[in-house]
Amino acid sequence: MMRSFFVVDEQHDFVVLDKAPGISFHSDDGPGLAAIAAKTLGYELFPVHRLDKVTSGLIILARSSSAAAELTALFTLHQVEKYYLALSTGRAAKKQGWVKGDMAPARRSAWKLLTSQHNPA
């Protein structure tokens, strides 16, 4: 069975996990990452941010509700820098190439890709 995460760092107030692709963050169709990690690590965890099911990468989970509030505020105030890297196998077909541009908030807490490149994603 594939592991859903690896612990990268554990601190008093938070834990950093390396989430595997294909693992849902939310408990939609079974236990989500936070629930799996809490059961595995043996203590309650609180979401700070999320990653899509198909996305792998580092995720921070707080070890208390007060730590979650503080860490969430840092993300909201853009005091935490996030970087995304997309990798692909194979060769791009015609009419395909770079996907590069700034990101901006869209509807329903989603993000959209812009044509400007002041701080490209």
Q: Which of 18, 19, 36 minimizes the C-alpha distance to 27?
A: 36
Q: From the candidates 9, 13, 28, 52, which is the catalytic residue?
A: 52
Q: Check if the beta carbon of residue 75 is closer than 8 Å to that of residue 14.
A: no
User: d(Cα 60, Cα 72) in Å, to the nearest integer?
Assistant: 10
Q: Using CB atoms within 10 A of its CB, is residue 103 exposed (0-12), middle (13-18) or buried (19+)?
A: middle
Is 29 among the catalytic positions? no
Catalytic center residues:
52
